[in-house]
Amino acid sequence: MDANWLVYHPNPKKPDLTLPVGAVDAHCHVFGPADEFPFAPGRKYTPCDAGKDKLFALRDFLGFQRNVIVQATCHGKDNRALVDALKAAGDLARGIATVGPDITMDELREMDRVGVRGVRFNFVKRLVDDTPKEVFLGIAEKIKTLGWHIVVYFEAQDLEELEPFLKQLPTIIVVDHMGRPDVTKGVDHPDFQRFVRLMAENENIWSKVTCPERLTVTGPPYDDVIDFGAAIVEQFPDRVIWGTDWPHPNMKSHMPDDGVLVDYISRITRTPEQLQKLLVDNPMRLYWAK
């Protein structure tokens, strides 16, 4: 692994928050193990191994019942580690893959059979090389026939340029980590309000209210991110999902305690109904409808 790589927390605390029955960790990854599933040649980072067994043990320890595993960029377009984890989990996991324009419908249908329900389009420059928008649009046309959706990852400063493209996408869109706002600017800043408006004007756009550990400036327990998550949950209770982001790729400031992250959920949800929608009803509708 990279010399400055931070390994996931070895013994997270037991959350104080009791999760509702059927709670879904809707954003997490598997890395390798590399001797079984080698990392991609063109990757931008080399992580520690963090395989499916560790992920499923964490799921049980924290009180989740299901996972949505998102293909990590260190595996490129080689979805074998993801597919292996989905097969091992049976009905308890769904997946988001990364594919190229040459993907065939037969390959997509095979992934659908093991639980893949969408693809991720990544615009974060430190993670991936640029992909032309036409390529993404071509992939979108293919995957929409399976009823899949698209997860998009971008940074706040890129939203303005991306908006016309996002509006062209023909499926549900799930935005990672609330579009990565600069939390020092506050909820009312035009940049975050642009994201709020995007969701308000486009009913197919959902948000993961995830990754306070990435967005924070003040550190755990992430007080400076709460207003952002709470605002999105309050305004769009039926279009939000949440996940741990285990094993937390590319964390540099600190490695979060996953139990502390779960407790953060209770601070961005104001009612039991919001909690139930965020952790159960919404991810089940999006990922387990078929």
Verify binding: residue 207, ligand 0GY, rule CB under 6 A. no
245 labelled catalytic:
yes
Rule CB under 6 A: choose which of 73, 207, 216, 244 binds ligand 0GY.
Answer: 73
Verify binding: residue 25, ligand 0GY, rule CB under 6 A. no
**Residue showing tokens 């997946």:** 95
Q: Considering only the stretches 143-151, 192-200, 242-250, 261-269, report the one whose residues sit in contact with ligand 0GY under the rule CB under 6 A.
A: 242-250
Rule CB under 6 A: choose which of 65, 131, 193, 250 binds ligand 0GY.
Answer: 250
Contacts of 33 (CB under 8 A, 6+ apart): 49, 51
Instruction: Supply 9's token pair.
Output: 């927390």
CB 145 within 8 Å of CB 114: no
Nearest Cα residue to 212 out of 243, 247, 236, 239? 243
Verify binding: residue 258, ligand 0GY, rule CB under 6 A. no
Instruction: Supply 17's token pair.
Output: 């928050």
> Number of residues in contact with ligand 0GY, rule: CB under 6 A?
8
Could you tell me the CA-to-CA distances from 243 to 14, 63, 68, 204, 247 in Å, in that order? 16, 12, 8, 20, 11
Q: 25, 112, 176, 245: which one is catalytic?
A: 245
Verify binding: residue 131, ligand 0GY, rule CB under 6 A. no
Shortest Cβ 271–ligand 0GY spacing (Å): 27
For ligand 0GY, the closer CB: 112 or 176? 176
- 264/74 Cα distance (integer angstroms): 28
Shortest Cβ 268–ligand 0GY spacing (Å): 18
Task: Kindly report whether the peptide bond that precedes residue 33 is cis, defined as omega within 30 degrees of 0.
Answer: yes
Verify binding: residue 127, ligand 0GY, rule CB under 6 A. yes
Verify binding: residue 245, ligand 0GY, rule CB under 6 A. yes
